A and B are shown apart, each in its own frame.
Chain A
Amino acid sequence: MSTGDVPVLQALGISRSFGHVRALDNVDFEVYPGEVVALIGDNGAGKSTLVKALSGSLALDSGKILYAGGEVTLSTPAQASALGIETVYQDLALAPHLNPVQNMFLGREVPKPGLQGKLGFLDNKAMRDRSRLAFDDLGATVRGLGDPVGSMSGGQRQAIAIARAVNWAKGVVFLDEPTAALGVVQTKNVLETIRRVRDKGVGVVFISHSMPHVMEVSDRIQVLRLGRSVAAYKASNTSMEELVGAMTGAIGGDK
């Protein structure tokens, strides 16, 4: 059976209101294994709300979430992580005083074998080796695995945050505006990373305001507007004008 038949993560008719504002209004969304889905929309369209709902950071008013075909309840980010759903937040969520290895394994430390491990001692060498592998795997140039993350450049910290998410994601990675603060070369690296992650069979959900990046890397593009899912396109047969039109409501797109 091909893994591409069942969406790895699927949202069916999910809604969420904040007071009188319907941030998500009966939205359907799915991502298949080994696929990059771009989630686009103007500010306030509900992109971040959708990501929060699907990564366990936000409770739903109604609707269902299915993981690999089975219904799940995601009430904490840790629950989502346990299933294999990882999120790179816009603020990266790294601990600036810890080093890249400690950030990589935060909450998932490798204990030393035997009694020492039971007493809480950590196998720092194993974690360092595995982190280096993970960074190399992504082509991320993270220097100084012992230096605090806070002393590193924005691009390096972005790389660490993405590497962490990718390393632990078995099913889906959400990337919330991963290129917003990056330079040309770093952006290229991130887009390359997205392709590599997809090639490993992980579903990637990519939020961006940058239409060229969206067009370059996505397989499918889903457009949100005012909390509704207004259109979905195959990246291969749409245009930037069409996407902008759907985002702003100038045209009502369809599948």
Chain B
Amino acid sequence: MIINLRVWRQANAQSAGKMVSYRVEGVSEDMSFLEMLDLLNEDLTVKGEEPIAFDHDCREGICGMCGIVINGAAHGRANSPVPTTTCQLHMRSFADGATIDVEPWRAGAFPVIKDLVVDRTAFDRIIQAGGFISINAGSAPEAHSVPAPKIQADRAFDAATCIGCGACVAACPNGSGMLFTAAKITHLAMLPQGQPERYSRVKTMVAQHDADGFGGCTNIGECAAVCPKQIPLDTISALNRDLMKSLFKKDGK
């Protein structure tokens, strides 16, 4: 396969970036999108040019490290019914000779570090603001000592599959990080261990989300459409319910 790429090149956070065209030859349809970029980078390195910087780690779709906007869709899922991360998107999804636009996540809270790499520490700050349980963990207790209803446990697990890749923010026309925040809130709010800090957590996490410069949610639904882990849009309603209840809770905040 021959693939024509238009890639966002930006030397560092301070410099202005632009789209640069590349032609990649000898692409196999079994390559992942990142392997195709590896191929291009080998070429660029041989030519003495700066290779394209992009984030990646496990390449198994479970770590949340990779993530680029491909042809305008976060992770490049486009119209495929299968949710995927960039590393699990294969070149067979594209036609031979296709021209593909590749851009980094674009969000005020995710400044570009270089080329396709963005700084996602804003997500870490949201977690630090309350996405945890304050207990002395000690050794693992007997699992049956804290009963959790099956339906709620399932919902918590579903929400906990969020890998924090940031596709929701990248896809949101408002640049909002609500799906990420809502997944973390729902994950902890559904479990017995999350109850003591449930309502203070939602306040501090949403406050940190807003302080980091993410936009507000207007229920458009683009986030859930690109989420590789299929975090449902209804987690945002769950967050809103907790946030409203928190206004009537005395929790020292």
Answer yes or no: do A and B interact.
no
